[in-house]
Amino acid sequence: MKALIIEDEKLAANRLERLIQSNFPDIVVLEKLETVRKSVEWLQLNEKPELIFLDIQLADGLSFEIFKRVKIEIPIIFTTSYDQYALKAFQLNSVDYLLKPIKEEDLKRSIEKYLNLKSSFSEQTVLDETKINQLLQALNHPNYKERFVIKIGGHIKTVQTENILYFKSEAKATFIRTKDQKNYILDQSLDILMDILNPMQFFRINRKYIISLHSFDDIISWSNSRLRVSLKGENNLDAVVAREKVNDFKKWLEGER
């Protein structure tokens, strides 16, 4: 069986391909594509695969633009960081969806589901414009975290997400730094925070920091092709964008994340 992976994160695409090959050696991944443009060109010029693994947010926009340019009659397994509520608009037109980071058992379940349903797929699997628009509308209203509840001794305080400069992991604790230069301790880890924060507003530059768009005064070229972020009111020399994140960080700054 022939499959296509459309995913703009190379590490995620390579990992997905390895998981597929290790569990379903009969599945051949024809290509791994990173953008809407390349995906449209490939689908127009090549023999169609039998199954597509499709990420929602690609390097040059939402992947649903592909369906507006190419007629798709191929079953799809969506791979996404969005939670289930955002996918209800098109669940009936897809085989399944996998939340990142993809678990091996979830991938096996999805592919086995596809194999069981394979004989029933027909032109009814095409995503029409109405379904695409429903999905885009759902994605335009994500349920991102708007405020955090902080316990300070015997008191409770709320901190609006828009007032947060950055999150920092230090000494096995997570700290919030606000625009008024105050620090608060938070229960959630940075990994959990990345699932609930708006990725257009926040970026994880390394293992210690998640920063907001309004958290820095300057960005400085640093050693080993890295970047150092000069945080407002701080002298944090460890606020350095990891080398493997620099390209994604620049895209985030340009609003392309």
CATH code, domain with 122:
3.40.50.2300
Are 33 and 94 found together in one domain? yes
Residue that wins the pLDDT comparison between 59 and 202: 202
Specify the number of domains making up the chain.
2
When pLDDT is averaged across residues 83-107 and rounded to a whole number, the result is: 69
For residue 228, name the pLDDT band (cuts at 50, 70, 90): very high
Pairing of strands 155-160, 216-221: unpaired
CATH code, domain with 159:
2.40.50.40
The tokens describing 6, both together, are: 């459309």
Are 231 and 190 found together in one domain? yes
Kindly report whether the peptide bond that precedes residue 101 is cis, defined as omega within 30 degrees of 0: yes
DSSP, collapsed to helix, strand or coil, labels residue 98 as strand
Pairing of strands 173-178, 183-186: antiparallel
Are 87 and 154 found together in one domain? no
Instruction: Report the range of poorest mean pLDDT among 40-54, 57-71, 131-145.
Output: 131-145
User: How much is the pLDDT for 196?
Assistant: 86
The tokens describing 60, both together, are: 């040059």
The tokens describing 13, both together, are: 């695409």
Tens digit of each residue's pLDDT (9 = 90 or more) over 107-165: 999 999 888 877 655 544 555 556 666 555 555 555 678 899 998 888 899 999 999 99
Helices (H), the chain: 10-23, 36-45, 65-69, 104-117, 129-139, 190-196, 246-253
Residue that wins the pLDDT comparison between 122 and 46: 46
Contacts of 140-148 spanning 24+ positions with Cβ under 8 A: 142/82, 142/86, 142/198, 143/83, 143/85, 143/86, 144/196, 144/197, 144/198, 145/193, 145/196, 145/197, 145/198, 148/176, 148/184, 148/186
Task: For residue 96, count CB atoms less than 10 angstroms from its CB and return exposed for 0-12, middle for 13-18, buried for 19 or more.
Answer: buried
Residues 147, 161: contact at Cβ < 8 Å?
yes
Cβ neighbours of residue 223 closer than 8 Å, sequence gap 6 or more:
none
Are 99 and 161 found together in one domain? no
When pLDDT is averaged across residues 236-256 and rounded to a whole number, the result is: 87
Q: Across all residues in the chain, what is the average pLDDT?
A: 84
The structure tokens 């305080």 sit at: 157
Residue that wins the pLDDT comparison between 87 and 198: 198
Strand boundaries in the chain, DSSP class E: 2-6, 28-33, 51-55, 57-58, 61-62, 76-80, 96-99, 147-152, 155-160, 164-170, 173-178, 183-186, 202-204, 209-212, 216-221, 227-231, 240-241
Are 80 and 6 found together in one domain? yes
User: How much is the pLDDT for 184?
Assistant: 94
Cα separation, 50 vs 197, whole angstroms: 35
Are 13 and 116 found together in one domain? yes
Instruction: Name the domain boundary from 105, 139, 173.
Output: 139
User: How much is the pLDDT for 174?
Assistant: 95
Are 118 and 161 found together in one domain? no
**What domain range includes position 9?**
2-139
**Orientation angle between helical segments 10-23 and 104-117, nearest 10 degrees:** 60
Instruction: Report the range of poorest mean pLDDT among 52-61, 94-103, 127-136, 201-210.
Output: 127-136
Are 156 and 211 found together in one domain? yes
When pLDDT is averaged across residues 240-251 and rounded to a whole number, the result is: 91
Instruction: Name the domain boundary from 91, 107, 139.
Output: 139
Are 27 and 133 found together in one domain? yes
Are 132 and 208 found together in one domain? no
When pLDDT is averaged across residues 158-187 and rounded to a whole number, the result is: 93
Instruction: Name the domain boundary from 116, 139, 162.
Output: 139
When pLDDT is averaged across residues 168-177 and rounded to a whole number, the result is: 92
Does pLDDT of 37 surpass 60?
Answer: yes
Are 185 and 237 found together in one domain? yes
Are 135 and 153 found together in one domain? no
What pTM value is reported for the model? 0.51
In the beta sheet, which residues pair with residue 216?
231
Tens digit of each residue's pLDDT (9 = 90 or more) over 13-32: 999 999 999 999 999 999 99
Residue that wins the pLDDT comparison between 58 and 203: 203
